[in-house]
Structure 1
C-alpha cells in the first residue's frame, strides 16, 4: 500500500491587528482509499503574548511545539521522538521570526484603521481525567477552545477563591481546524461534596471573561445501576406477559362468540 500525499498551502491569514498566521499541510491517503490524515504546521505572529508560536499537529492533535525561549522543539508524548529531519530546521524557524519582526509593526499600523480585529469567544469545558470518586485524588482538566487570537490565560477558583497550588498550565496554545486555537489547564484535586470549582479564560484584549463551573457529584454506583436496570427489565417483562395473556383471552372470547 503506497502513501499518496498532496501538499496544501502555505496560506497566510491576518491575525488581529497586524498578526500573521501561516498554515501549510500535507494530506495523505493510501492506494486502498483509507481515510486521509492531515499533518499541519502552524506558525503565528502577533502583537500580544505569546508574540510567536509554532506547532505541528496530526488530525488536529498536537504533536510538537517550538519553544522560542529555548529554541527547541518539544514533544507532547514522551515516547514520540522522530528524527530531527522531520522538524522545521532552526534556520527556517529563525527566518520566520525575522520576517515576523519586520512585518508586524508596518502591518499593525497599516491595518488597524481599516480592519476589525478578529475575535473568537472561548468555549469552556471542565472534566476529570479519571472516573470521579469522592475523597480520592483526581485531576481536573479545563479545556478552552475557539480561541482567537491565541492570547489567553486560564485561572482556577475553588468556592470563589483563587487557586495556585497544584495547577499546571502549558505555556503554548494548540492550533485546530478553522483558524482557531485551544488551550488546557490541569488542577490536582480531591473532590468533596459541596465544593464548587471554576475555570476562567481571560484575554488581555477583551473586556469580558469566559467562565465554566464544575461541582463534584457522586456517580450512581455501577452495581446499583445494574440492579435497577435488571429490576426495570423484569417489571416490563412481567407487564408485557400480562398484556399478552389478556389479549389472548380476549381473542379466544371473540372467536367463541362468533
Structure 2
C-alpha cells in the first residue's frame, strides 16, 4: 500500500530538484484508502485526488478500474493485484480482532445520505442524455441504488460507481443511467440502506423543451413589440418638445391616457 503515492511524490521531487525554482503550487491531497467491513462490499480500495476518484480496485475481478473514463489504464508496475492481497488480508484480520473486542463498547458511527439527481448535459427532448445520482455523506459504505421510470424499475443502461472516500471520513457514491428524456417523464433514484431499514428518494422530471422554446419566442415577440411602442412614444415626445420650442404649446403626456 502506498506505492503509487510514493512513486508520484518521488517524480514531483525529482522534477523540482532538476528544474528552475518555481512558486509553491496549490496544495492537493493524493490518497490511497483501503477499507474492510463485515457487510458487502467487504473490501474497497480507491486512489483519489482532492476527493475525486482516479482509480478503484475491483476485488472480484482483481483489476484496477479508472474513476474517470478518459484516464489511461493503471500502470501494473506501481501496485499489482498480488501486492494488494496481503494488505487486504491484514485489514480483515485487524477488523476481526477489533470487532471482537469493541462490539457493544463503542457507539457506531452513521451518516445520513444526501442525494442529488441531475442530467449530465442540458436536457433536450428526444436527445440522449445521462442522469447522475450523487449520494454523499455515506457511512458506513453500505447501501443500494436503484432506478425507476414512471414507477417501473429499470436496470438497462445503469452503471454504479464504487464508494469513494472523502477528506471528512465519509464516502460518496455515483450511479448513472442512460436516458432519452421525454417531456413530463419522471425518473427516480432510490437509495436503500438495508442495515438501517431506511430509504431515500430523489426525483427528476424531464422538462418540455418545445414549450420552453415557444415561450421564448412569445417573450421575444412581446419584447420587440414593447420596443417599437417605446420608440414611437419617444419620437412623439421629441416632436412635441420641438413644437413647444416654436411656441405652439405642448400637450401633457398624461392627457394621452
Checking the alignment, whether the CA contact within 8 Å between 2:64 and 2:74 is kept in structure 1 is: no
Report the more deviating stretch, 155-164 or 206-215. 155-164
Equivalent position SS for 2:132: strand
- Alpha-carbon deviation of 1:82? 5.2
Which residue is 1:51 aligned to?
A: 42
> Any idea what the Cα deviations from partners look like across 1:31-51, whole Å, max 9, x if unmatched?
402312211111101011000
Is the deviation greater in 129-138 or in 53-62? 129-138
Q: Structure 1's 34 and 229: CA in aligned 2 closer, same or farther, altered over 3 A? A: farther
After superposition, what is the alpha-carbon deviation per residue over 1:158-213, rounded to whole angstroms, capped at 9, x for unaligned?
Answer: 2222222222223x211222111111111122222232111011122112111101
TM-score by length of 2: 0.71
Contact 1:45 1:100 in 2 (8 A): yes
Deviations 1:100-128, CA, capped at 9 Å, x for gaps: 22222232222221112111111111111
Which protein has the larger Cα radius of gyration, Structure 1 or Structure 2?
A: 2
Gaps of 5+ in 1: 1-9, 11-23, 250-258
Name the structure where helix makes up a greater proportion of residues: 2
Matched, 1:96 2:90: no
1:215 is matched with which residue? 205
Mapping 1:187-206, distance limit 5 Å: 187-206=177-196
| Structure richer in strand, relative to its length | 1
Residue 229 of structure 1: how far off its partner (Å): 11
How far apart are residue 222 of structure 1 and its match?
11
1:84 and 2:86 are equivalent in the alignment:
no
- Shift in Å at residue 156 of structure 1? 0.7
Which has the larger displacement, 29-38 or 60-69? Answer: 29-38
In the other structure, the counterpart of 2:251 is: none
- Contact 2:55–2:74 (CA<8 Å) still a contact in 1? no
Structural RMSD (CA): 3.3
Partner of 1:224: 216
Following superposition, the deviation at residue 90 of structure 1 comes to 3.5
What's 2:174 paired with?
184
CA 1:89/1:114 → structure 2, altered by over 3 Å: closer, same or farther? same
CA contact (8 A) 1:143 1:182 kept: yes
TM (norm. structure 1) is 0.71
CA–CA distance in structure 1, aligned partners of residues 182 and 80 of structure 2:
49
Aligned-partner SS, 2:24: coil
CA-CA distance at 1:136 after TM superposition: 2.4
